[in-house]
């Protein structure tokens, strides 16, 4: 079955087109990510901004053409933190449906976590250890702990690279006190939402989404980005600390020139790396495995296994 899944997130809008076999094996045909920053100013205003919504509509127009070119027989779009939080989120979702003929729906944090875990652990050897899957998004971060393909604990938290950047970073380059303040808030959010018993049980970490893949790309000095090299890369805490130290000394314009860093991620990458470091510290991890298998993959597997619609 050929499926297409769109993830309309707080920081980026992403597409996956894939063939999914009856046994769940997935062959990726096309994958693309566009930084659209839908969640810009949502934390402060409570509403999606007109220019941010237009950036998403422009991305969806391109994605709709790609979906038709590939002949996908089932299509869905999931909308996450920014839309959940915005007063005009339902209006925006309706516009996505009407303008682009896409079965779009807003999912709650719990479902977002479950789909992310399903995607990250699919086609991965089961070591029997308790695994953390962390998805650092633009407006929320999902923590999922599980073993043998089963979720034992999950939490969706109000911490994300766009949200925390807007709350804490006022200068360019950011001042050390701003980064320290951001890290303290994130550390507290983790403590408040993930009980110590679950943090202590984790033996391995899998990091999905743009922050982790960008850190791997910077370490590997990839230009252009290469998903095959990023997927499965072991990202060590010391490397993340060095990347944060490097990036936090640069202006936004200077960060955009860093090899391996997608320029549109320059405004929020400092918050992302700082958050990833706090995650590693909270769970006692010296390293995490970077994965390109995320909520897109989880949603694609679920879409392919869903019974056909009646009528």
**Same structural domain, 175 and 59:** no
β-bridge mates for residue 32, sequence order: 15
Residue 310 above 50 pLDDT?
no
Range name among 102-106, 149-153, 172-176, 289-293 with the lowest pLDDT average: 149-153
Question: pTM here?
Answer: 0.86
**Same structural domain, 80 and 174:** no
Note the pLDDT tens digit of each residue in 191-237. 999 999 999 999 999 999 889 999 999 999 999 989 899 999 999 99
Can you read off the two tokens belonging to residue 163?
Answer: 């949200």
pLDDT for 309 equals 55
Mean pLDDT of 129-144: 91
Reported as a pLDDT band with limits 50, 70 and 90, residue 97 is very high
Can you read off the two tokens belonging to residue 178?
Answer: 């701003």
pLDDT for 246 equals 97
Q: Which domain holds residue 240?
A: 124-292
d(CA 169, CA 165): 5
d(CA 175, CA 167): 13
**Same structural domain, 163 and 86:** no
**Same structural domain, 184 and 154:** yes
Residue 174 lies in a domain: yes
pLDDT for 307 equals 66
pLDDT for 311 equals 43
Note the pLDDT tens digit of each residue in 253-300. 999 999 999 999 999 999 999 999 999 999 999 999 999 888 899 999
Which domain CATH number covers 6?
3.30.420.40
């Amino acid at each position: 079955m050929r499926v297409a899944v769109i993830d309309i997130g707080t920081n980026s809008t992403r597409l996956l087109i894939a063939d999914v076999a009856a046994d769940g094996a997935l062959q990726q045909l096309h994958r693309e990510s566009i930084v659209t920053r839908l969640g810009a100013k949502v934390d402060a205003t409570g509403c999606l901004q007109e220019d941010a919504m237009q950036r998403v509509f422009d991305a969806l127009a391109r994605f709709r053409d790609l979906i038709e070119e590939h002949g996908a027989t089932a299509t869905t779009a999931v909308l996450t933190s920014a839309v959940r939080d915005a007063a005009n989120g339902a209006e925006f979702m309706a516009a996505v449906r009407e303008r682009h003929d896409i079965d779009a729906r807003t999912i709650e944090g719990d479902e977002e976590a479950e789909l992310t875990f399903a995607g990250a652990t699919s086609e991965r050897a089961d070591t029997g250890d308790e695994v953390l899957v962390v998805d650092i998004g633009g407006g929320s971060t999902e923590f999922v702990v599980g073993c043998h393909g089963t979720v034992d604990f999950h939490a969706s938290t109000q911490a994300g690279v766009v949200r925390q950047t807007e709350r804490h970073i006022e200068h360019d380059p950011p001042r050390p006190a701003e980064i320290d303040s951001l890290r303290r808030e994130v550390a507290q959010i983790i403590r408040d939402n993930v009980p110590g018993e679950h943090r202590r049980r984790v033996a391995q970490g899998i990091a999905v989404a743009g922050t982790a893949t960008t850190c791997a790309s910077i370490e590997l000095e990839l230009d252009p980005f290469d998903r095959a090299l990023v997927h499965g890369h072991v990202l060590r805490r010391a490397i993340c600390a060095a990347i944060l130290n490097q990036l936090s000394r640069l202006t936004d314009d200077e960060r955009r020139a860093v090899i391996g860093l997608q320029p549109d991620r320059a405004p929020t990458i400092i918050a992302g790396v700082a958050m990833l470091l706090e995650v590693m510290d909270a769970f006692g991890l010296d390293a995490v495995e970077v994965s390109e298998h995320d909520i897109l993959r989880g949603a694609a597997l679920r879409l392919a296994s869903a019974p056909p619609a009646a009528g």
